[in-house]
Amino acid sequence: MRGHGDGMLGLAIHAEGLSKHYRLGELHSLSGTMTRILRPRAAAAAAGLEALVEVDLTVRRGEALGVAGTNGSGKSTLLKILAGTTLPTSGTMRVRGRVLPLLAVGQNFHPELTGRENVTLFASSLGIPRDAIFAGMDEVTEFAELERHMDTPVKRFSDGMSSRLSAAIAMQFPADIYVFDEVLAVVDREFQVRCIEAIKRLNRRGSTIIFVSHNSQQVAEVCKRVVWLDSGRVRDDGAPGDVLDAYAHAHGRADEQ
Amino acid sequence: MTRLDLEQGAAMSVPLARQLELLTERVIAPSKRRVRLRDLLRDTAVIRVLAARDFKVKYKQSLLGPIWLVFQPLALLGAFFVAFRNLANVASGGVPYAVFALVGLSVWSFFLAAMTIGSASVITNSNFVRFTPCPRPAFPIAAIIASLPSFAVTAAGAIVAAAVSDRLSIHVLLLPVGLFWLLLLTAGIVGITSSLAVRFRDVISAMPFLLQVGVFLAPVGYTLAGLGGTMRTLVEANPLTGLIEAWRWMMISGYQASVGPVIVSILETIVLVVVGWLIFSGIETTMADEI
């Protein structure tokens, strides 16, 4: 099989024949089970969704890759497999180095805990060692511009403040591969610019970046290569200008802001 | 294939690790079971943080805070006195009733708390399950650890009560063994309930009822000696029964523990731990999809 041995050394991610099948409908309810037993044909018709179909993807170390695609194209599933939260139905993905995924902003905070306590909690859940968290606390606080709020329970934070804090956590700790899924959607323009600068800095230092955004401008700014996913398949793969143009053309520029 | 040490790679700064080619390769592929027991020993940091959170949030925006740790068992003890001692006039095998009941209560209230938070632990952490690579066994384990402080308070109360009434047994030195056993049994059951709850929320709906029945099916406030027939068989089959008997034997001098239930409970603990691990690790691979 390709991808073994020395061939993997310059690579960050190598996916071969990656597929993910989801069952649709209610999975373990009485009514769902009854439907499957009583009307197997109807149940089978509505049975599944192919989120990813035989995806091959190779990302070199230090690359900044954008993933474009409409809702339901398989972007998030690909990122979730990379982050290790879900497993593929078939195929393999080889990942080299430490992955730091930010798949949702502001979702992992406990409302009753303070900003500081939540940084420790969320960073630990991402596998960041304790001393690294304490060492990086000031940088996270400063980057999120929340110096005065770190001892306040997060339930008193605005959506923007929570988003800034999670983005800051994902960008201030060392990793080999950073995964960003739609992380700049809720924050203001100024903070978006700072995040993009931070992501580019991580990339310059040699980390691999996987970046998903509905904002094509941001994708073009961060990434040197874009993969376009369409119904779980790779439809295009190349320079951001070409791929994003083709994507915008196919979707009537509806996704561009 | 080059497979190098993860810990080393992680501890070093990124560029250095890159120079030395110390990056670990991880292969993500379909799997029926992916968590390993040895991973748990590596993930103690996140378990600590989660346990601290589970403990802290209990007393956030609470006037009395941890004072509840002392008040709750005292109130329960009072209720037991009225119900079992005064109304039902239950015998406690020649042991002062407060000592007798406190030992049972400390084990029971720990089990109750750990079961309640632990069974829901994966569901309440659904955002971590869906969006982070946090090892999933960390959630129930943290919930169990977070229930330990309240246990320490009641267990200390039981020891003091036994000492004051001059009935403290030398077997109390075996307490770490008893604690280990209690933790294993709880972890086994919580492993089953917390993972099944991801698929079937019925587990959560059934839990308060099961626990309410459970307190009567375990000799928390009464002795085994007063029981007979079917009831006795039921109570002796309860894995908590032998455990509580063993705890009373550890703490109270001259306490005559029934050996049968203790052996039954040890065997049940082993089975529940193995089954709990198999069910949890089996469901674990699809938790993010099903939760």
Contact B57 A110 (CB under 8 A): yes
pLDDT of residue B12: 44
At A204-257, the pLDDT tens digits run 999 999 999 989 999 999 999 999 999 999 999 999 999 999 999 998 755 444
Amino acid in the structure at residue B260: G
Q: Where are the beta strands (DSSP E) in chain B?
A: 25-28
Contact B130 A61 (CB under 8 A): no
> For residues A161 and A154, what is the distance between their CA atoms, to the nearest angstrom?
9
At B185-212, the pLDDT tens digits run 999 999 999 999 999 999 999 999 999 8
List helix spans (H) across B27-170: 37-42, 44-58, 67-80, 97-119, 121-124, 126-131, 138-146, 148-164
Q: pTM for the whole thing?
A: 0.89
Q: Which residues of chain A are within 8 Å of residue B24 when distances are taken between CB atoms?
A: 96-98
Contact call for residues B125 and B288 (beta carbons, < 8 A) = no
Work out the pLDDT band at B46, boundaries 50, 70, 90: very high
Across B1-10, B41-50, B82-91, B277-286, the highest mean pLDDT is recorded for B277-286
pLDDT of residue A212: 95
Strand A64-68 relative to strand A208-212: parallel, antiparallel, unpaired? parallel
Contact call for residues B287 and B138 (beta carbons, < 8 A) = no
Q: For residue A97, what are the CA distances in angstroms to A60, A134, A247, B13, B25?
A: 12, 22, 31, 12, 6
- B18, pLDDT greater than 60: no
For the sheet with A208-212, list strands across it: A99-102, A177-181, A208-212, A64-68, A225-230, A233-238
Contact A84 B133 (CB under 8 A): yes
- Enter the tokens of residue A52: 């990813």
Q: Compute the nearest-CA separation of A212 from chain B (Å).
A: 15
- Give chain A's radius of gyration (CA, Å): 20
> For residues B251 and B167, what is the distance between their CA atoms, to the nearest angstrom?
8
Contact call for residues B94 and B168 (beta carbons, < 8 A) = no
**Which is more confident, A145 or A106?**
A145
Please give the ipTM for the structure prediction.
Answer: 0.88
Contact A5 B1 (CB under 8 A): yes
**Which residue among A85, A89, A121 sits closest to B49, beta carbon to beta carbon?**
A121
Q: Which residues of chain B are within 8 Å of residue A206 when distances are taken between CB atoms?
A: 14-15, 18
- Enter the tokens of residue A117: 């306590």
> For residues B243 and B185, what is the distance between their CA atoms, to the nearest angstrom?
9
At B111-121, the pLDDT tens digits run 999 999 999 99
At A165-180, the pLDDT tens digits run 999 999 999 999 999 9
